[in-house]
Structure 1
Amino acid sequence: MKKILFATTALIATATVAAADVTVSGRAAFGLNYNGVTKTSVVLNNFDLYFTGTTETDGGVSLSATFEMEGLGTASTAATKLTDVMASTVFSASAGGLTFSYGNTDGAFDKAMVEVHRIPGIAFELWGGASFIDNNDNNNISRIDYAIGDFAVAVSYAGFDKSTGIGVNYGADLGSAKVTMGAAYESQTGDDYWGLSAKADFGAFSVAAGYADSKNKTVFNGTYNISAQYSANGLTVGANYLNSKNANSNGYTVFGTYGLGGGASVFAQYGERANGTTKTGTMGVAFSF
């Protein structure tokens, strides 16, 4: 992450210059994507670039705005073109343990629930088919978070699908294990959802599980996820299993990463979805900056 200091007001040299901190950070990955059904491979590339400006009022309120640019494509689609790049923003204000966020951010359900293990943040991860609810409301989600110690609560509203959510998250250090638990409820047009999740870290070894269900069984009829992961000396290996009652579908992923230093790592994974009708493998290099 690189921090840049921008003067917000141009004044004479002897006067005080008002300034705000701007950080530039990002992540990128490239590699091969293998389709086990068609027996074909393509080259994939992905990037996420973040510009975040922060300032603090005299009253101690911290204000920030993040502008994100992201792209994903194959060698044939040339995803680096401007027309292939998606942009989104998040605005937030916080004071003490209270934070308000608006924009391309998680709803309370996503914020509170604990995800199972996977390779995160490279857009190559094999994560569809039986995962939990992801509220996509045209990048216009409002959320209020309150955190005190190891306890946090979130409330959100998304106007596009008239969705209201609430979630709680709690972490505890039990000595032999660090445990994180999350529970959430979301009501939107046509259905209500609820979920429970937990993760336990035993040093280098970690396990996680979650379950989500809804009142309208024709829309969403239950999903559970379980996973395990081991990390030591720069090497991480893990696996997850996803099951969706609604689609009568299950799938799994096995994955591994190895750190190269400097924020870079190599990764490889293989997964099957929809009872084995979809088979995908990816491998490549990812790095953050």
Structure 2
Amino acid sequence: MKKVLLTSTAIVAFAGAAAAEVTITGSAEMGVVGGSDLATQFFQDVDVKFTMTGETDGGLSFGAAVDLDEAGNLGNEFSNQGVAIFVSGGFGTLTMGDTDGALDFVLTDAGNIGNPGSIADDETSHIGYLGSYLDGSGTADNQVVRYDYSFGDFAVAVSMEQNPQGADGFVVDGQDDPDEDDVNYAIGGSYATEFAGAAVSVGLGYQHAENGGPSVDDFFAFDSSTPGDDLTIVGTDDRVDAIGLGATFTLDSGFTAGFTYTGFDFEEDAVDDASHVGIGMGYAFDAFSVHFNYGLYNFDIDGVGEFDVQGYGIAAGYDLGGGASLLFGYGRSELDSDLDDDFADTVVDSSDDDFDTFSLGLSMAF
């Protein structure tokens, strides 16, 4: 989403067989970062990605992509390795590994709308941001299997993600038999068209996760010695369903905008309702580009009250040409609670949890 990568390519061809192609792309970033309770300091990052593609004599495409900064688990065949492998043909595309689930596939999240990026992703690091929905929830390891198919202006996708028992998926003492494991799954569809001079796309999807989701514990620190300890809000064993709807539109002038709405239904009765709203917009003119996104979680807790978790992000970029860009990013996170006084004493005061981050630097794509 954030880098346009130039490529150097090695092609190996064999007589009587289709060509195989290995592409190496890379990026480097340097600058400064800082924020609340964070000393302003130097920042540098380098990433290298290998993309391998091929085609069978019958026209079946296949390939894999290895992102080295996410490939620390290479060699563990039963887990996410930072690798996505695919096969594609007239039947559609089947992808396995480090890839989006079906709900994330059909929706464009707020941070992907007209975003030039930043060296430290500050504009998408605030706590109000929702980017991958229920992918990786609970014990799931982000090893996703997704099938997608496009026909005309429509696209559909289904995905599944397992919840392994322990390291490498093997049984750990005291845990259930892996044959009894439940799975996370998702389904979604999208439609893209031209309307009133704008390119418009809409998406709708559903996702189920056996373990987890956006947890209250992610936003507040609970003290088990207080009355809150007898109230399980949202834990890693909770099942949750999500329904997401989103739309984006893009004008020829360079302006683009969109929104997502996600409703969460928790199995745990303590949470009456939870939802998330995200909006994003961007504008590109000449070598300049700017972006804004906002996200809001709302939790309604039975007998306790409700609270909002929200944040916003800003990014700006100037394209220097040749793959180099000057980038700025800023993110702000805020908590706004209306909890019962007795229960509010069990959480960190919301004023202590507001924070921001920023970055400024140069991004280079190779």
More helix by share: 2
Deviation at 1:174, TM superposition (A): 1.9
Q: Which residue of 2 aligns with 1:167?
A: 188
Deviation at 1:47, TM superposition (A): 3.0
Q: Which residue of 2 aligns with 1:188?
A: 209
Counterpart-to-counterpart distance in 2, 1:42 and 1:97: 50
Q: Which residue of 1 aligns with 2:129?
A: 131
Report whether the alignment pairs 1:5 with 2:11.
Answer: yes
More strand by share: 1
AA of the residue aligned to 2:250: D
Is the 8 Å Cα contact of residues 17 and 57 (structure 2) preserved in structure 1? no
Deviation at 1:219, TM superposition (A): 9.6
Once the two structures are superposed, the pairs formed by residues 248-263 of structure 1 within 5 Å of their partners are 248-263=308-323
Name which one, 1 or 2, has greater alpha-carbon Rg. 2
**Which structure carries more relative contact order (alpha carbon 8 Å, separation 6+)?**
2
Q: Which residue of 1 aligns with 2:236?
A: none
Report whether the alignment pairs 1:107 with 2:98.
Answer: no
Q: TM-score, normalised by structure 1?
A: 0.84
Once the two structures are superposed, the pairs formed by residues 28-39 of structure 1 within 5 Å of their partners are 28-35=28-35, 37-38=36-37
Q: Which residue of 2 aligns with 1:76?
A: none
Deviation at 1:288, TM superposition (A): 1.9
Counterpart-to-counterpart distance in 2, 1:149 and 1:119: 29
Counterpart-to-counterpart distance in 2, 1:135 and 1:61: 28
Is the 8 Å Cα contact of residues 192 and 199 (structure 2) preserved in structure 1? yes
Structure 2, unpaired ranges of 5+: 1-6, 71-79, 164-181, 211-238, 300-306, 336-352
Is the 8 Å Cα contact of residues 173 and 179 (structure 1) preserved in structure 2? yes
Deviation at 1:43, TM superposition (A): 2.0
Q: Which residue of 2 aligns with 1:65?
A: 64
Q: Which residue of 1 aligns with 2:47?
A: 48
Q: 1:218 aligns with which of 241, 257, 271?
A: 271
AA of the residue aligned to 2:261: Y
Structure 1, unpaired ranges of 5+: 9-14, 72-85
Deviation at 1:122, TM superposition (A): 4.9
Q: Which residue of 2 aligns with 1:265?
A: 325
Counterpart-to-counterpart distance in 1, 2:184 and 2:273: 15
Once the two structures are superposed, the pairs formed by residues 82-161 of structure 1 within 5 Å of their partners are 88-96=82-90, 98-116=92-110, 117=113, 118-120=115-117, 122-128=119-125, 129-132=127-130, 133-136=133-136, 137-160=140-163
Q: 1:208 aligns with which of 258, 276, 279?
A: 258
